[in-house]
Amino acid sequence: MDPAMGSGHFLVAAANEITSWAISLLHENPDAPLIAQVEEDRKQILEEQAKRGIVLDADQLTRCPSY
């Protein structure tokens, strides 16, 4: 932990705000190439973990309601 970052609450809140902003942009632009990349990343995470014998709940890798 970097002492300059304190407990990390500010950084987590900032990451949440940026994520919310990005999701809102995806809702406004449903044809954005990033949506396909996110879906591919989700699929790859599930496949790689399955190879390691780790079964993930796909619902935990949440989707935006619009896609």
Within a domain: 11: yes
Tell me what pLDDT residue 66 has: 47
- Within a domain: residue 45? yes
Query: Is the residue at 65 inside a domain?
Result: no
Determine the pLDDT at residue 62. 65
Whether residue 49 is contained in a domain is answered as: yes
The mean predicted confidence, pLDDT, of the chain is: 83
Q: Quick check: 17 pLDDT over 50? A: yes
Structural domain including 12 reads 3-60
Q: Is residue 66 part of a domain?
A: no
Higher-pLDDT residue of 1 and 8 is 8
The Cα–Cα gap between 47 and 67 comes to: 21
Give yes or no for residue 51 having a pLDDT over 90.
yes
- 54: in domain: yes
pLDDT(11) > 70: yes
Phi-psi region of 32 (alpha: psi -120 to 50; beta: other; left: phi over 0): beta
Let me know if residue 32 belongs to a domain.
yes
The total domain count for the chain is: 1
Q: Is 67 a domain residue?
A: no
pTM given for the model: 0.55
